[in-house]
Amino acid sequence: MDQRLLSIYIGAEVIRIVDATRKSATSITVNSVDEVSTPAGCFDDGYITDVLEIASAIRGKIIGKAGKAKAVFTISSKKIASKEVVLPYVMARKRLILFLPLMQVNISPCQRQEISSLLTT
């Protein structure tokens, strides 16, 4: 089930290209990592202003690598906000208690009984 993958990051200063092979659901092997300068005037805060020039820069690095590969593109921008949150492991019962207040759905009486039995054990 070897699957070729290309990850292409386009930023204001650099374009990074990672060629990898996915062997299974949990095993990925990185074959190569390349980096090329982003051509001047081709990228402006998340917008590619000169597609042909960016494509030419990328093509020079992936020739021979991207025969049948899935490609994932990531573009850098100051207009997109993101935040990574790392949560510690929580046991099943405590996890259920934490998420119950967040659930704003109708729960049948049968489901309520199942939930309360889980909370009391």
Model confidence over 50-92: pLDDT tens digits?
999 998 888 888 877 656 778 888 888 887 766 666 766 655 5
Domains in the chain: boundaries: 3-75, 90-121
Supply the CATH classification number for the domain 3-75: 3.30.420.40
Model's pTM, two decimal places?
0.61
Instruction: Please tell me which residue, 107 or 86, carries the higher pLDDT value.
Output: 86
Q: What percentage of the chain reaches a pLDDT higher than 70?
A: 61
What is the Cα–Cα distance from 98 to 93, expressed in whole angstroms? 9
Q: Is residue 101 over pLDDT 60? A: no
Instruction: Measure the CA dihedral 68/30/47/14, to 10°.
Output: -130
Sheet of strand 27-37: strand arrangement: 27-37, 14-24, 3-10, 69-75
